Amino acid sequence: MIEASRVSWRYGENPVIDGVSVIARPGRVLGLIGPNGSGKTTLLRLLYGALRSPTGQVVVDGNDLSTLPAHEAARRLAVVIQETGGETTLTVAEMVLLGRGPHLSTFQRTSRVDHEIAARCLARVGAAHLGARPFARLSGGERQRVLIARALAQQATHLLLDEPTNHLDIRYQHEILHLVRTLDTCSIVVLHDLNLAARYCDDLVLLGGCGVVAAGPVGEVLDPTILEPVYGIGIRRLDLDGAIHLLFQPTDHDTATERSVAA
């Protein structure tokens, strides 16, 4: 379980997260949603320790995250963030093997078991055929799947993902989130697509105005009366066959603006 209480962050004089508290429970997928600039990625970075809040604390399975040694934190928290690939010369297989690092002692080399785990993780994300390819030459979608495979190879008890469906086509968006949902981990995922959040998350935290607008089970948070003021767009909710579907329509103000621009 990850529990954050009263965490905050500001960039310069501009507060982004102010006194936010969230709980991510074992075996459940918590989605962080909200419009651009609402602090989703900042909150995620606070939850895995890339940023240290000047207020409150983040607790992982009863331990204050700020007191955990880096090696121990890496055994508990696997993180998938947006990466470009840069100038790395690593192959895909080598990139995924990096996920085994927290399980190795200093100067210990990867074993046959580590390579087998990495290969299985690549297969789970549909990227087994990419093993020999240079990571830097992959497409955005291929790179994203490899980074998720690296996180799986880490075998951590908590998985945190920042927009894991970015650059992926519809098929892989659903396959990756379905995979996350089937893992026996405490998972936290930043999502822009509210319909994906409805389908694959158990709980949601809706951010806006530097704080939490709503938090709870998916069915409670995805209420048009809650969402519309935050996103500034008309929303209609359909509950079909036990699933939530959201339809979006511009408000009268948006429509008038579009007509003005077109004219």
Tell me, what amino acid is at 44? L
Instruction: Report yes or no on 98 lying in a domain.
Output: yes
Residue 50 in domain: no
Each residue's pLDDT tens digit, 54-91: 999 999 999 999 999 988 999 899 999 876 556 788 99
The answer to whether position 112 is within a domain reads yes
**Mean pLDDT across 188-198:** 96
Q: Hunting for tokens 């003005």 — which residue is that? A: 260
Instruction: Write down the pLDDT at residue 254.
Output: 53
Is residue 43 over pLDDT 60? yes
Residue 108 CA neighbour count, 13 Å, CB half: 12
In a domain, residue 49? The reply is no
Residue 100 falls inside a structural domain: yes
Q: List phi, psi (to 5°) of 227.
A: -75, -40
124 Cβ partners below 8 Å, 6+ apart? 149, 152, 179
pLDDT digit string, tens, across residues 140-183: 888 888 999 999 999 999 999 999 988 788 988 998 899 899 88
Does the pLDDT of residue 49 top 60, yes or no? yes
Q: Is residue 64 part of a domain?
A: no
Q: How confident is the model at residue 250 (pLDDT cuts 50, 70, 90)?
A: confident
- 259: pLDDT strictly greater than 90: no
Please, which pLDDT band fits residue 257 given cuts at 50, 70 and 90? very low
Residue (of 121, 118, 162, 165) closest to 141 by Cα position:
165
Domain that holds residue 108: 83-155
How many domains does the structure of the chain reveal?
1
Q: What percent of the chain has pLDDT over 70?
A: 94
**85-121 pLDDT, tens digit each:** 567 889 999 999 999 999 988 788 889 999 999 999 9
Residue 262 has pLDDT above 50, yes or no: no
Whether pTM exceeds 0.75:
yes
Q: Is residue 179 part of a domain?
A: no
Phi, psi of 189 (to 5 degrees): -135, 130
The whole-angstrom distance between residue 113's C-alpha and the CA centroid of its chain comes to 28
Q: What is the pLDDT of residue 260?
A: 43
91 occurs within a structural domain: yes
- Backbone phi and psi for residue 175, each to the nearest 5 degrees, phi listed first: -65, -40
